[in-house]
C-alpha cells in the first residue's frame, strides 16, 4: 500500500483545519489570504496533489466521460474515439473507455460507469436496455447515442441523416442510368443500416425498380462473403449500395477475385468515408459521415447537460455528402 500526501498532512503542516485545505483546493475562495498562503506553502513543501476523486466527492462531479464501444475493428470507431478524446481534453475531461463484447451493453459495464460517477456517457455501436437508461436518468447522468437513432425520444441521439443518404445514393445510381440495384445491409438491429435501407428502398419503389436485399454484418468478411454469394447466384445487379465502407472493401475484393470489373460490370457505393476508402487499391465512392459535426453536437449537448441537467432528448441528424471515386 502506498502513502500519498493527503489534505490531512497539508493541514497539519500548515497548522490549519483539514476543511480549510479542502476549501482552497476544491471549492474556491472562502478562506483568508493568510490561511491560503500557509496552505499553498505547505502543499508545495509536501508535494500535495489534490485528488480528482476527493474533488468529485465534494463537488459530486467527475470530469470523466464514459465511451462505450464495440467494433474497434471498424476503423470508423477508432477515428471517433480519437476525435472525442481530443475534443473533451480541450474541456478538461478524460475518457473512460468501455469496450463491450456483446451488442448489448453488459451489466458490469453499466456498473463501472455508475461506480465511477461519470459526468456523461456516449454509447456508440452498442444497444442499451431501457432499464439501464433509467438507471442513468435516476443518477442524472446525461447519455448520448452516437451514430444511432432511437425509436423512443427518451435519449439524445446524434447521427448522420441516413434516410436522406439512402435516398440520395439511389437517385445517384438512377442518374447514372442504372436501375438494377441491391443493398447489402449491416447488422439488422441497427438504426443506421435500417435507415440507409429505408431511404434507398423508398426511391426504388417510387421508380418501380426491383429491390434486392442481402443481409450482412458490418464487417469486411461479411461483405466479402456476401459478394461471393451474389456472384455465385449468377444474377449480379449493376449497382450495389453497401451499408458501410469496411463491408464495401470486402465486396470490392470479392468482385476482384471473380474478375468482375468495377464500375464497368457493377458499381459500388459505401458509407462512412473511412481513410481506406481513398486508398488506391479501393478508390471507393462513398457517403461521407461528417464526424466533426457529429462529435461537436455530442460534446456540446453533454457539456450543457453536465452544467445543468435537464434530461432533454432529441434526435439530432447531420447531413453527409457523396464522395465520388472510381467505383461508380
Choose between 51 and 179: whose C-beta lies nearer to a copy of itself. Answer: 51
C-beta of 56: minimal distance to a copy of itself in Å?
5
C-beta of 235: minimal distance to a copy of itself in Å?
23
C-beta of 115: minimal distance to a copy of itself in Å?
4
C-beta of 54: minimal distance to a copy of itself in Å?
6
Output the nine-digit C-alpha cell for 67: 465511451
C-beta of 88: minimal distance to a copy of itself in Å?
10
Choose between 78 and 202: whose C-beta lies nearer to a copy of itself. Answer: 78
Peptide bond before residue 288 is cis, with ω within 30 degrees of 0: no
Choose between 115 and 151: whose C-beta lies nearer to a copy of itself. Answer: 115
Choose between 136 and 200: whose C-beta lies nearer to a copy of itself. Answer: 136
Name the H helices within 60-126.
76-90, 107-115
C-beta of 85: minimal distance to a copy of itself in Å?
4
Contacts with a copy of itself by CB under 8 A lie at 1-4, 47, 49-54, 56-57, 59-62, 64, 67, 72-73, 75, 77-79, 81-82, 85-86, 89, 94-99, 101, 108, 112, 114-117, 138-140, 220, 224, 249-250, 252-254, 256-257, 275-276, 279-282, 309
Choose between 249 and 269: whose C-beta lies nearer to a copy of itself. Answer: 249
C-beta of 57: minimal distance to a copy of itself in Å?
6
DSSP code for 277: G
Orientation angle between helical segments 291-307 and 76-90, nearest 10 degrees:
40
Peptide bond before residue 263 is cis, with ω within 30 degrees of 0: yes
- Helix/strand/coil for 140: coil
Choose between 144 and 203: whose C-beta lies nearer to a copy of itself. Answer: 144
Question: Can you name the residues that pair with 316 across neighbouring β-strands?
Answer: 158
C-beta of 222: minimal distance to a copy of itself in Å?
13
DSSP code for 26: I
Orientation angle between helical segments 191-206 and 162-175, nearest 10 degrees:
40
Q: Cα angle at 190 between 300 and 316, to 5 degrees? A: 25
Choose between 274 and 294: whose C-beta lies nearer to a copy of itself. Answer: 274
Contacts of 220 (CB under 8 A, 6+ apart): 246, 247, 249, 250
CA torsion sign, 311 to 317 to 318 to 323?
positive
Residue 324 to residues 71, 91, 237, 263, Cα–Cα distance (Å): 26, 36, 20, 12
Choose between 57 and 260: whose C-beta lies nearer to a copy of itself. Answer: 57
- Helix/strand/coil for 225: helix
Which residues in the chain belong to E strands, given as ranges? 64-69, 94-99, 120-123, 143-146, 156-160, 181-185, 211-215, 239-242, 267-272, 285-288, 315-318, 321-323
Amino acid at each position: 500500500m502506498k502513502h500519498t500526501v493527503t489534505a490531512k498532512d497539508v493541514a497539519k503542516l500548515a497548522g490549519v483545519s483539514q476543511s480549510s485545505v479542502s476549501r482552497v483546493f476544491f471549492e474556491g475562495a472562502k478562506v483568508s489570504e493568510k490561511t491560503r498562503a500557509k496552505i499553498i506553502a505547505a502543499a508545495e513543501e509536501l508535494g500535495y496533489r489534490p485528488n480528482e476523486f476527493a474533488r468529485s466527492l465534494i463537488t459530486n462531479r467527475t470530469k470523466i466521460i464514459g465511451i462505450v464501444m464495440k467494433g474497434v475493428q471498424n476503423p470508423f470507431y477508432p477515428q471517433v474515439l480519437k476525435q472525442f478524446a481530443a475534443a473533451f481534453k480541450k474541456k478538461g475531461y478524460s475518457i473512460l473507455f468501455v469496450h463491450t463484447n456483446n451488442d448489448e451493453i453488459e451489466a458490469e459495464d453499466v456498473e463501472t460507469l455508475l461506480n465511477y460517477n461519470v459526468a456523461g456517457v456516449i454509447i456508440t455501436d452498442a444497444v442499451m436496455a431501457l432499464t439501464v437508461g433509467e438507471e442513468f436518468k435516476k443518477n442524472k447522468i446525461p447519455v448520448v447515442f452516437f451514430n444511432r437513432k432511437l425509436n423512443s425520444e427518451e435519449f439524445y441521439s446524434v447521427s448522420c441523416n441516413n434516410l436522406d443518404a439512402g435516398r440520395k445514393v439511389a437517385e445517384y445510381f438512377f442518374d447514372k442510368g442504372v436501375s438494377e440495384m441491391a443493398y447489402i445491409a449491416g447488422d439488422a438491429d441497427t438504426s443506421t443500416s435500417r435507415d440507409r435501407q429505408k431511404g434507398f428502398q423508398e426511391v426504388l419503389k417510387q421508380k418501380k425498380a426491383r429491390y434486392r436485399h442481402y443481409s450482412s454484418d458490418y464487417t469486411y468478411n461479411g461483405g466479402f462473403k456476401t459478394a461471393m454469394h451474389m456472384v455465385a447466384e449468377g444474377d449480379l445487379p449493376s449497382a450495389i449500395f453497401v451499408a458501410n465502407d469496411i463491408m464495401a472493401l470486402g465486396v470490392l475484393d470479392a468482385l476482384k477475385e471473380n474478375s468482375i470489373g468495377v464500375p464497368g460490370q457493377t458499381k459500388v457505393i459505401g458509407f462512412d468515408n473511412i481513410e481506406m476508402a481513398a486508398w488506391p487499391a479501393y478508390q471507393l465512392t462513398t457517403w461521407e459521415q461528417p464526424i466533426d459535426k457529429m462529435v461537436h453536437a455530442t460534446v456540446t449537448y453533454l457539456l450543457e447537460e453536465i452544467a445543468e441537467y435537464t434530461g432533454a432528448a432529441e434526435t439530432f441528424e447531420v447531413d453527409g455528402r457523396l464522395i465520388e471515386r472510381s467505383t461508380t
